Amino acid sequence: MNLKQLSELLGLSQTTVSRALNGYPEVNEATRERVLRAVKETGYRPNKAAQRLATGKAGSIGLVMPTAPGHQSDVHFGEFLTGLGEEAVRHDFHFVIMPADPDDEVAALRRLAISGNVDALFVAYMRGHDPRLAMLKSLSMPFVVHGRSFGTEPDYPYLDIDNEAAFNDATRLLLQLGHTRFALMNGPAHLDFAIRRRNGVVAALSERGLELAEDCTTHSVMSDEEGLIAMERFLQLPERPTAILCSSTVLALGAIRAVNQAGLKLGEDISLIAHDDVLPLLKPENFSVPLTTTRSSLRAAGVRIAQRLIGTVKQAGPFPEHELWKTELIVRASTGPAPQD
């Protein structure tokens, strides 16, 4: 069933039917009713491709999903997507997801944008000096970035959490508890959040004249295996750290396994603070020793970004260009006073 058939069925022109459907004022209420009834009966739905071609809009948000044969699926991605979806469903928006090799992201994003089947773009996994920004700005298509790009002028719309403050606060807490030997288990070194979190830690430490040692910093994919490996390395250090900052509860999962295997007690021998994205599967309060965390819901960020994206497409703005969310520091049992040795 297409517009032409529907209009013939009704004995009206395509124009009138289209206007009736799209809520234009210049159509008789009785006619509109009649059209709407026919739509319900026939189950007619406008062809989105045609609609898009005609209007340039079709109610869709585009995003790139990093993927590759060896590439591990990322719970953070799914959680964020759920947030986007929660908002999108309210506006009858859908997503166009372009899977792409992580090394090919800028090209993939470009293809997605000029493919002409999205109205707006969402971009994540930001890097320092991210090359996608220049491309995005040249595109004249609305976009919102999750995160920021360290080293780039922040003249683009973003939503980010205050990573630096989060890890600064966490470090301060551990300092107050008397810790002096710190380690940071971070995400991939080129990612923006990793850079900022590290800076937060370093700044807090340097206030007390302390430094973050090279061998007390790891950068890796955020999987539990990597957490385990990193922690095992820390524990073998001659002066082993007593305070661990951890960029994700996923890493913490592995890290804690290592702590247990070494026969150490979390919250006593080792204090640990992890960043909590509020993943349903990894509730910090459900760890055998509940985790002290910096918290910010990834899903909530997804909802908000969808709001801004959809709002911009629908011209329902204005929206703030920049949002920087504070994280909460929630103290549980994984942190305690520095052990006396």
Q: Write the binding mask 269 to 298 for a second copy: x where contact by CB under 8 A, - elsewhere.
A: -----------xxxx--x-x----------
Nearer to a second copy, 175 or 313 (CB): 313
Q: Can you tell me the distance from the alpha carbon of 319 to that of 324, in angstroms, rounded to the nearest whole number?
A: 13
For residue 168, the minimal CB distance to a second copy (Å) is 28
State which of residues 224, 226, 276, 277 lies at the interface with a second copy (CB under 8 A): 224
Choose the one of DNA, a second copy, none that binds residue 99, judging by a C-beta under 5 to 8 angstroms depending on kind.
a second copy
Nearer to a second copy, 290 or 337 (CB): 290
Q: Write the binding mask 33 to 72 for a second copy: x where contact by CB under 8 A, - elsewhere.
A: ----------x-x-xxxx-xx----x-x----x-xxx-xx
- Ordered alpha helix ranges (H), 100-176: 105-114, 132-137, 163-176
CA torsion 295-131-156-113 (nearest 10°) is -100
Residue among 158, 173, 157, 220 at smallest CA distance from 194: 220
Is residue 3 within the footprint of DNA (CB under 7 A)? yes
Is residue 332 within the footprint of a second copy (CB under 8 A)? no
Q: Write the binding mask 55 to 94 for DNA: x where contact by CB under 7 A, - elsewhere.
A: x---------------------------------------
Cβ burial, residue 202 (10 Å; 0-12/13-18/19+)? buried
Choose the one of a second copy, DNA, none that binds residue 77, judging by a C-beta under 5 to 8 angstroms depending on kind.
a second copy
Q: Can you tell me the distance from the alpha carbon of 178 to that of 200, in angstroms, rounded to the nearest whole number?
A: 18
* Contact window for DNA (CB under 7 A) among 48-56, 69-77, 240-248, 313-321: 48-56
Q: Tokens 């430490």 correspond to what residue? A: 205
For residue 110, the minimal CB distance to DNA (Å) is 15
Choose the one of a second copy, DNA, none that binds residue 88, judging by a C-beta under 5 to 8 angstroms depending on kind.
a second copy
Is residue 231 within the footprint of a second copy (CB under 8 A)? no
CA torsion 244-249-253-256 (nearest 10°) is 20
Q: In what order do the strands lie in the sheet with 292-295?
A: 217-219, 182-186, 243-246, 271-276, 292-295, 328-330
- Using CB under 7 A as the binding rule, the residues of this chain from 96 to 125 that contact DNA are 116
Q: Can you tell me the distance from the alpha carbon of 119 to that of 144, in angstroms, rounded to the nearest whole number?
A: 12
Choose the one of DNA, a second copy, none that binds residue 79, judging by a C-beta under 5 to 8 angstroms depending on kind.
a second copy
Q: What is the DSSP letter of 23?
A: T
What are the CA-CA distances from residue 233 to residues 43, 178, 179 (Å)? 62, 23, 19
In what helix (H) or strand (E) does residue 99 lie, and over which residues does it extend?
strand 94-100
State which of residues 14, 67, 117, 199 lies at the interface with DNA (CB under 7 A): 14
Residues in contact with DNA by the rule CB under 7 A: 2-4, 11-16, 18-19, 21-22, 26-29, 31, 44-47, 50-51, 53-55, 116
